[in-house]
Copies of this chain bind each other. A is one copy, B any other.
Amino acid sequence: MGKGEATREAVLDEAGRMARTVGLGGMTIGTLAASTQLSKSGLYAHFQSKEDLQLQVLEHAKARFVAQVIAPALSAPRGEPRVRSLFEHKLRWDSAPGGCIFTSAATELDDQPGPVRDRVARDERDWRDTIAEVFRTGVAEGHFRPDADPEQFAFDLEGVFLAHHLTSRLLDDSTAGERAWRSFEQLLATARVS
């Protein structure tokens, strides 16, 4: 890995951290340059525009998300164990300092058209598809009812994540984790074969 690539990744790491607290739009070139010991123009050698930077931040974050959440979950046994693993890892991801960048970007950009919003929307769809797909392995394994709706499960589970995110960050409520777990167990109980 060349030197340029190294600093580029370092910048993307810092930018991701920054975007999680002030948003993708609130993040500025100046402060980002300062906190990475670079000059503003030094940054622009790696990114053609702020929009390009935002897109790369999302791409970089998604790679980390796949490595830290999706991949570990997929290594769990099919069915309910895999669903549980996915839930656990995603909850841990959301508990990182600053929270989940996709969650913050999603509500920030949901009404601002453009390529960045499109990218966030695509990632959100991918994520829901992943949840639904993992849930389907549970149906196939006979853990969940055959008439259960995987997309509805994804909708509900995403709601649990969002509520947890808000409860733990905005309200500083330490019971958010327990609450999320309780909701999750209830979702599973409803989906299970009777």
- Interface residues of chain A, those whose CB is within 8 Å of chain B, are 20-23, 25-26, 98-99, 103-104, 106-112, 117, 120-121, 124-125, 151-152, 155-156, 158-167, 169-172, 179, 182-183, 186, 190
Contact = CB atoms under 8 A, between A and B. Distances in A.
Contact of A110 (B25, B120, B121, B169): B169
A177 to B, nearest CB: 11
- Oligomeric state, in number of copies? 2
A94 to B, nearest CB: 12
A173 to B, nearest CB: 9
7 cross-chain pairs, A with B, having the tightest CB-CB distances, nearest first: A159-B163, A159-B159, A162-B162, A110-B169, A21-B111, A110-B170, A107-B107
A108 B107 contact: yes
A32 B121 CA distance: 28
A107 B103 contact: yes
A53 to B, nearest CB: 17
Contact of A124 (B22, B108, B112, B171): B171
B111 A20 contact: yes
